Amino acid sequence: MRKPTLVAASLVVLLAVSACGRIGGAGDAPAAALDAAGKARRLIEQEAATPGVAAEQVLGLVKAAPGITAVPDDLVVPVAAALEDGPTAGYDGCLAGEAETTGQECVYGDPAGARTVVLFGDSHAGMWQPAFDAAGRRTHTRVVLLAKPACAVPELHFWLETEQRPNTECDDYRAWALGEIARVKPDTVVMTSLFTGPRDFGKKDISQQQWEQGLARTIAKVNATGAQAVVLGDMAYLEQSAPECLAAHDSDVAACARPASEAVLSAHNAGEAAATEKAGGRYVGISDWFCTDVCEPIIGRMVVYQNQYHISAAYSRHLSKVVADAVGMTA
């Protein structure tokens, strides 16, 4: 079992272009991205030594976000580097590739922790790795990441758009990951997936009902291992990539915002919550961590999104305490 370390991350940081591409990276990484990666690793250590940001503070910053009219000069990660502000899991090689049917079993948080949490899913599991790593360090919880981009948690057949064929590798990877969960015997399995454009073998859009049924099948298999199954809900989606939009509208942040009624997948989230609870799991809604009536691209001193489909590592770390509290990772 592989234990990522800051030393290992520094040795492979030059691979960030390909690794981050798996979760929506922006091609050739600028020099600023390497600086951001180093800053991200330092922030993990710093935040692991603090109590974290409490829910009321998180919600307060979300409420105040519409008042940010221009891009601040003191962002945690500047807009120019935000496209590359992805999880350290990308640098560590801990996200399974498109052709892979098994993966690294990478350990974050406190490797010697008495409790174990598995973070399982697609690239959205990867984007939450910074939060769970910091939370695990603070709460002395061992965090095992099992993540394959473009391979959602629900037991369904997905379509591989890049090659226009059935994504059989995803089926095989999911089966492998569930086998690893049974072997590791964690206390909790936190599952999360991106819900945009999944396809079945017939190239038809997967319906909400099919998604819920597939999720219930996966939850049942997790429950059978004796672990507590927790589903972390989907994020809010802006209409375009936040870093690119902010670069073009640095004096008009509101131009990059989106009404919550459009950004939040309310019907999907409600259906997923009901299916999770019916299957014996626990659902954690996260929309309030991003939006009031509007979802902003900047909250506090952080660019919230790495791109259109993933949150930034900076914001993921910022949410480490609320995530930990929500899924039961208490000190």
Entry pTM: 0.86
Q: Which region holds residue 206: left if phi is over 0, alpha if psi is between -120 and 50, else beta?
A: beta
User: Which of 195, 17, 209, 220 is closest to 123 using CA atoms?
Assistant: 195
d(CA 236, CA 220): 27
Structure tokens at 3: 């234990």
User: Is the separation of the CB atoms in 251 and 270 below 8 Å?
Assistant: no
Fold annotation for 6-327: Rossmann fold (3.40.50)
65: DSSP letter: G
pLDDT of the residue at 199:
54
Rounded distance between C-alpha atoms, residue 162 and residue 145, angstroms: 25
Backbone angles phi, psi at 27, to 5 degrees: 75, -135
Mean pLDDT for each 10-residue chunk of the chain (331 residues)?
41 28 36 53 53 89 98 96 88 89 92 97 96 96 96 92 88 98 98 76 76 98 98 97 98 98 97 98 98 98 96 96 94 62
pLDDT of residue 145: 98
Q: What is the model's pLDDT at position 166? A: 87
The Cα–Cα gap between 21 and 296 comes to 24
pLDDT at res. 50: 55
Using alpha carbons, select from 318, 312, 316 the residue that is nearest to residue 79.
Answer: 312
Instruction: Count other C-beta atoms under 10 Å from residue 124's C-beta.
Output: 24
Residue 298 and residue 72 in contact, taking contact as beta carbons nearer than 8 Å = yes
What pLDDT shows up at residue 135? 96
- Which residues in 188-200 are b (16+ Cβ under 10 Å) and which e? bbbbbbbbeebbb
Report domain extents, the chain: 6-327
Burial class (CB in 10 A: 0-12, 13-18, 19+), 249: middle
